[in-house]
Structure 1
Amino acid sequence: METSNLFEAAQSSDGRYRLLVEAITDYAIYMLDREGRVTSWNPGARRFKGYEADEIIGRHFSTFYTDAERSQNVPAQALEEAERTGRFEREGWRVRKDGTQFWAHVVIDAIRSPEGELVGFAKITRDLTERRAAEAKLRESEEQFRLLVQSVTDYAIYMLDVKGHVASWNTGAQRIKGYTPEEIIGRHFSNFYTEADRAAGLPRTGLETATRIGRWENEGQRVRKDGTAFWAHVVIDAIRDDDGKLVGFAKVTRDITERREAEAALQVAQATMIRSQKLEAIGQLTGGVAHDFNNLLQVISGNLQLLSKDIAGNARAEMRVQSALGGVARGSKLASQLLAFARRQPLEPKVVNVGRLIKGMDEMLRHALGGEIEVETVVAGGLWNSLIDPDQLENAVLNLAINARDAMNGEGRLTIEASNAFLDDEYVRQHEELSAGQYVMIAVTDTGTGIPPDILERVYEPFFTTKAEDKGTGLGLAMVYGFLKQSGGHVKIYTEVGAGTTVKLYFPREVASEDTLVGSPSGEIKGGEETVLVVEDDDEVRGVAVSMLTELGYRVVKARDAASALVVVDSGIPIDLIFTDVMMPGVLRSPDLARKAKERLPDVAVLFTSGYTQNAIVHGGRLDPGVELLAKPYTREALARKIRHVFANQAQRRGAQGSQHLASEKTFKNATVLLVEDDDLIRLTTTEMLSDIGCTVKEASTAQEALKILDEQPVDILLTDVGLPGVSGLQLARDIHGRRPGLRLILATGDSGVQSEAARLGAILLVKPYTPQSLRQGLEHAMKKRR
């Protein structure tokens, strides 16, 4: 069929051919008028060349050519040849909107009226950049890949109705398969398949797969009208109307008989390369990050914590040390995110009802997202329990919520749903490492921009992000993915560009009872003698708060804004608690005041108060996790009870730390620890930590030195780094396990992947970078353990 007849056929069949063209994204298909100006533009053209329809329609198609070809009048020659012969076909460099070039295969067909008058041109372009590069490489290395340079220029493009009957037919289809439109339209497309494929149900599988997931791609033998077979690459795309109803299928077939062997070799090479890259990335994440980065953090953290004893009483130096330790904590968090992607983070799973957990996150989410995001939480009745780390689940939901906020540009609707789900055999067959059964599902849905299909498969890659350089690390979804996989769960993304995205998290059902939630006890209403800094810009409100606190017995200092309050903190006045309004005038915000105050006074408590509703307190700002909030208006009794609650929490934390330190000194007096660490700085700081808590320390830098010491001297505890040179610390522990049953074992590492081996050996796992407190805890557990 001639091109003009093709378009007439499309018009006479209620625009089915238009739907076909609009559904194709692998080929740029558009129209030119007689002078070469663009008159139509399909999604494939937009994807290849970068122009929106309203940017390019009306402009001359020579825009896509290089300067050299325009100077040689190549665009005009192409139209001239198409007009003279009916068709122009070439390969060459073309230019995208952003100026980058790509190697394209181009076909231009002249379109004529029934009277033979030229009315324009039909143009089909395909991006062959990757194929051309592969062809050049293979041509240089092996003659067998010479076929890759032979361009495949004929495409069969046609439509099927919902049952698979041919509804339209183009000249490419006629040339490849031999049928005229009159012979094939109305017949079932299974006529093109071999008898074996029809018996195996391959045509039905193609339509069912395209219906279910939108697309089916296949290579195999097909049959021409004359009975000869050829190898074909086939793509079937489901076509739906504006209401989502299936109206048919778009089908593109190309003859790859001569190229099949070369293409197969190329695909094997590409698959090998991709697997190699992924393995390399995972290796860098686990080995490199867990060992080198955590070792570096351990050096910094250990020295800073030891230095803090030497500068005790020097407020300025203490502030700087605390600030530096904060940097170590952020570095440790980064390492944790990377290890989460690699499924190597230490989890502390508990039996939880995720519905209650999500409802408990409501205030945190509103703080993080801001007042312009409407948040709705929907929890189904009868929700099952799940065995999961609640802290990591909160982090995952928060990461998804923040991603959603950014996708909505800070304004829109976020919906979080929790319900029971069942994943059947058909679903799990499409996903590795997933078992059929009962799951608890959490869905996070936004009304944002959606995720383009070309990057959807990359969203879980570490450091991949579509945000600006200062807007995110690219680790949020990577962490979520790793956490779900490590928890035996599953994550699935459903997205539509311009409409929004839903991320569904699936966790296996747990039949055990939910862990008991312990509420905060209410104490007697009373005051105290501590010093409270009241920060409030409203004079009357500030006066009332000062009066209440004074009557309760507190010493009170006051400030009218956050900047003034920080001056008070810097003055050296001893302050036990900062009681501050959330919303105040000035450059310095209350959350920043809290952060800066804690940098200067690590033991200071902070209590926020606000008269705004919970979802509008900070208008897009964020308060620290664990924030204490007293809503306005408040009574004297409520104020008194809340302040004592905050002080009780502070005292409990300090008391636990002090008693633990005294118990540790008594427990470890006269205990001999063999420390095996190849890093000199870590060995130095860890030795000092061990000495401070009463241990006698023997040092070794290799497994060989450690074995010699163990043969010659009595040792109570072996504390060894896992990543030793030569013989690893893990192997050292294995060798000692059978020979010295009374020796306690501690394995120090940043990689929790050795946890199962540590349990088999009866060893304690000490995660780097460790603090004096976590080191003491590890020693206590080791001393109590019996192997």
Structure 2
Amino acid sequence: LSTEIMLVAGMDAKIMAANPAMLALVGQTEQELLGQAFMDYVHPSDRQATLDEVAKLDKGLRTLNFVNRYRGEGGVYRTVSWTAVPDNNVIHAVGRDVTAETEAAEQLRKAELALQQSQKMESIGNLTGGVAHDFNNLLQVVSGNLQLLSKEVVGNDRAVKRIANALDGVNRGAKLASQLLSFGRRQPLEPKVINIGRLVTGMDEMLKRSLGEAVEIETVVSADLWNVQVDPTQIENALLNLAINARDAMDGTGRLTIEACNITLDAVYARDNSEVRPGSYVMLAVSDTGSGMSPDIVAKVFEPFFSTKPEGKGTGLGLSMVFGFVKQSGGHIKIYSEVGEGTSIKLYFPQVLSDEDLIIDMDVGKIEGGTETILVAEDDEAVRATAVELLRDLGYSVITANDAESALVVLQSGVHVDLLFTDVVMPGPLKSPELARIAREKNPSLSVLYTSGYTENSIVHGGRLDPGVQLLSKPYTKEAMARKIRH
């Protein structure tokens, strides 16, 4: 039998004759199909274009390679490419089922787009990594000296206020650099096995304070939620970012729904979303009753520096930071929005079968210094000087080295050192991780604390800090330094 679909119909679309291939396409017998209008089988989105093509035939014009979709057995639509000619108010049409070809072309298009996106992300990541390293070093010098200066102006309220304002500017700059690194998937993550439901409910009070009383918050957490492995700090930042965006979309008043549930993404979903692996996920969704977005806006919302907010009201990095974090965590993000109806953003994180990790909050409790000896290895002279003063201010004895090789000479000299505090990225043939390895072979009790504005791939692999590695990211405060050293 011919695989070509053959159809004879009037200009009124009533079917006059059909071959077996046409009958098989629509899942009808000849008796059932004859006299029916072929328009009844055309996909709703394709009907106007099909009517326009019939109008051309009615004027005596031929149809060549016109594509539309026909409803077949079980309501499944097949894609058909038609060639048709008019003859005395009758349409003679020959079609070819191109469903497989169309789907293959669509998959290829998605793969090409995914590759372009991947290449763009790699380029942005390389750019932001280089900028973040230098930028965070500069911020560390400014921040460290402001912190040291603050002790000298106690009692001078004007000076104290100015230093506080300057430190606030440093914090905003650090946040900007962190968001850029997140979007470029260069943020060093410290993933823990957590229950997202507990994290969400633990943020209730913070969200209420951040969003205001006019926003009604509804939290829906499913029972028996699976565990996931993510960076708790980053997921808190992501949820807060999404909630604040939702508040702004609702002009400060409306309903915000936060939902956490188990979900299985099957092969069909993965086929339509090429970066997704089928499997078990925990979904975290943030939905609002705000203004919603048009499809062209939705297509751009994850791009860095794109914002629908008025100038000066946002950096345009909030959603791009969330996007980068989710992707770097091996997850998936999807946005659903309709103008006038609101927006729902869904984050999917792969299930893990491990038990929850015990997470210690290091940002509480008394700040303590010590009397131990710390070796500071830092190539940037200004950063090194600032770090030394902060450490001495905490009571520590300090030895300095301007690169890894100099630090190794100190360690091999027999001088007692309790902690190696080393920058990750330094010039010279000896790299910091190798320095730490050699030093620990000589002195297994030596503690190592890394610091960096950008870690490259030295102590971070697959976007995650290597096991057992302790990192203090620049710019850091004296309090953060103190807590990290005692930890």
Question: When the two structures are superposed, what TM-score results if normalisation uses the length of structure 2?
Answer: 0.73
Give the Cα–Cα distance (whole angstroms) in 1 for the partners of residues 135 and 248 of structure 2: 30
Question: When the two structures are superposed, what TM-score results if normalisation uses the length of structure 1?
Answer: 0.48
Cα deviation digits, residues 339-363 of structure 1 (max 9, x gap): 3333444555555443344344445
Which structure 2 residues correspond to residues 194-209 of structure 1 after superposition, within 5 A?
Answer: 202=100, 206=103
Cα deviation digits, residues 626-682 of structure 1 (max 9, x gap): xxxxxxxxxxxxxxxxxxxxxxxxxx96x712xx13xx13xx2xx2x3322222211
**1:471/1:446 CA distance change after superposition, 3 Å:** same
2:435 equivalent among 712, 715, 733 = 733
* Matched letter for residue 20 of structure 1: D
Answer yes or no: is the 8 Å Cα contact 1:165–1:189 preserved in 2.
Answer: no
Which structure 2 residues correspond to residues 488-637 of structure 1 after superposition, within 5 A?
Answer: 488-511=330-353
Deviates further, 705-714 or 328-337: 705-714
**1:7/1:708 CA distance change after superposition, 3 Å:** farther
How far off its partner does 1:732 sit? 5.2
Secondary structure of the corresponding residue to residue 769 of structure 1: coil
* Matched letter for residue 775 of structure 1: M
Give the Cα–Cα distance (whole angstroms) in 1 for the partners of residues 227 and 107 of structure 2: 42
How far off its partner does 1:512 sit? 5.2
Equivalent residue, structure 1, for 2:29: none
Equivalent residue, structure 2, for 1:280: 123
* Matched letter for residue 178 of structure 2: S
| Structure with bigger gyration radius | 1
Give the Cα–Cα distance (whole angstroms) in 1 for the partners of residues 291 and 315 of structure 2: 19
1:189 equivalent among 96, 113, 117 = 96
1:159 equivalent among 53, 61, 68 = 68
1:751 equivalenced with 2:454 (yes/no): yes
Secondary structure of the corresponding residue to residue 313 of structure 1: coil
Question: Identity rate of aligned residues, in percent?
Answer: 44
**1:312/1:728 CA distance change after superposition, 3 Å:** farther
Gaps of 5+ in 1: 31-109, 117-153, 194-200, 210-215, 220-232, 236-266, 519-651, 782-787
Give the Cα–Cα distance (whole angstroms) in 2 for the partners of residues 383 and 505 of structure 1: 15
Give the Cα–Cα distance (whole angstroms) in 1 for the partners of residues 467 and 359 of structure 2: 34
How far off its partner does 1:727 sit? 3.4
**1:503/1:305 CA distance change after superposition, 3 Å:** same
Give the Cα–Cα distance (whole angstroms) in 2 for the partners of residues 394 and 762 of structure 1: 23
Give the Cα–Cα distance (whole angstroms) in 1 for the partners of residues 375 and 440 of structure 2: 18
Give the Cα–Cα distance (whole angstroms) in 2 for the partners of residues 338 and 698 of structure 1: 34
How far off its partner does 1:759 sit? 7.8
How far off its partner does 1:303 sit? 0.3
How far off its partner does 1:415 sit? 2.6
Give the Cα–Cα distance (whole angstroms) in 2 for the partners of residues 271 and 428 of structure 1: 14
Give the Cα–Cα distance (whole angstroms) in 1 for the partners of residues 79 and 449 of structure 2: 70
Which structure 2 residues correspond to residues 102-501 of structure 1 after superposition, within 5 A?
Answer: 156-163=65-72, 173-174=83-84, 182-184=91-93, 189-190=96-97, 202=100, 206=103, 217=106, 276-289=119-132, 291-347=133-189, 349-428=191-270, 431=273, 434-501=276-343
* Matched letter for residue 686 of structure 1: A
Give the Cα–Cα distance (whole angstroms) in 2 for the partners of residues 432 and 272 of structure 1: 11
1:20 equivalent among 46, 56, 62 = 46
Give the Cα–Cα distance (whole angstroms) in 1 for the partners of residues 377 and 38 of structure 2: 83
Answer yes or no: is the 8 Å Cα contact 1:421–1:438 preserved in 2.
Answer: yes
How far off its partner does 1:281 sit? 0.5
Give the Cα–Cα distance (whole angstroms) in 2 for the partners of residues 316 and 368 of structure 1: 29
How far off its partner does 1:304 sit? 0.8
* Matched letter for residue 383 of structure 2: I
Secondary structure of the corresponding residue to residue 313 of structure 2: coil
Give the Cα–Cα distance (whole angstroms) in 2 for the partners of residues 694 and 737 of structure 1: 24
Give the Cα–Cα distance (whole angstroms) in 2 for the partners of residues 760 and 356 of structure 1: 26
How far off its partner does 1:737 sit? 4.0
Q: Tell me the C-alpha RMSD between the 2 structures.
A: 4.7
Equivalent residue, structure 2, for 1:768: 474
How far off its partner does 1:396 sit? 1.8
Give the Cα–Cα distance (whole angstroms) in 1 for the partners of residues 261 and 470 of structure 2: 38
Give the Cα–Cα distance (whole angstroms) in 2 for the partners of residues 167 and 427 of structure 1: 24
1:722 equivalenced with 2:424 (yes/no): yes
Give the Cα–Cα distance (whole angstroms) in 1 for the partners of residues 410 and 259 of structure 2: 59
**1:15/1:766 CA distance change after superposition, 3 Å:** closer
Secondary structure of the corresponding residue to residue 106 of structure 2: strand
